[in-house]
Homo-oligomer: A and B are copies of this chain.
Amino acid sequence: MPRWELGSADRLKQAAMELFREKGFEDTSVVEIAARARVTTRTFFRYFPDKRDVLFAESEGLRAGLVARIRQAEDVTNPLHTIVRAMTEFDWDAMGGRDVQRHRQAVIAANPELLERDLIKHDDIAVEFTGVLRERGVDPDTARLAARVGIQLFFTAYESWLAAPDDADLAAITGDLMSRLASIVPIGA
């Protein structure tokens, strides 16, 4: 029998998610989260750098996975296409299931502090994408633009996908947005 229960990090994540949904992010203290997970406050901060980050524990793996896809993509002659394709083909259903993602998204959207963290995580991904594209020979300015626009386009699609019924097709949504983008990018300019 171990001296303590196993899986403190998982219990903390679950406790935090529950409390954030029950009483909101601001009205939940780290002390409460830790108590529900049956550990001390200090232990919380050993697993997560701050209160917000408990909702973003998987983001490093996500970023690494996406970057690997870009790095291994067959061709990057059209970097925007490469990025959106790589992100679309990612196995999002492995991120805890649709409803888990919906709940997480709802909590984030309801709290500016969490939204800030979400945005910078996306920005981190964009920065890494930019670097990989440049390594693969894409013009620096084009790489940065493609990374940023690609991320915006994809996560816009991702939101719609989460909001849609379970049988919605993510690829179809990204494809639709790509068409819309093509229709509003000034062709002649």
- Expressed in whole angstroms, the Cα–Cα distance for A164 and B46 within the complex equals 43
- Expressed in whole angstroms, the Cα–Cα distance for A149 and B180 within the complex equals 11
Copies in the complex: 2
Asked if A81 is an interface residue, CB under 8 A from chain B, the answer is: yes
Excluding A116-B120, A141-B160, 19 further A-B contacts by CB distance (< 8 Å) are A78-B184, A79-B184, A80-B186, A115-B120, A116-B116, A119-B119, A141-B180, A142-B183, A145-B152, A145-B156, A145-B177, A145-B181, A146-B184, A148-B152, A149-B153, A149-B181, A152-B152, A178-B185, A178-B189
Please give the residue numbers on chain A whose beta carbons come within 8 Å of chain B beta carbons, in ascending order: 78-81, 112, 115-117, 119-120, 123, 139, 141-142, 144-146, 148-149, 152-153, 156, 160, 175-187, 189
15 A-B residue contacts at CB 8 Å? A79-B184, A80-B185, A81-B184, A81-B189, A116-B116, A116-B119, A119-B123, A141-B177, A142-B180, A146-B184, A148-B156, A149-B149, A149-B181, A175-B189, A178-B186
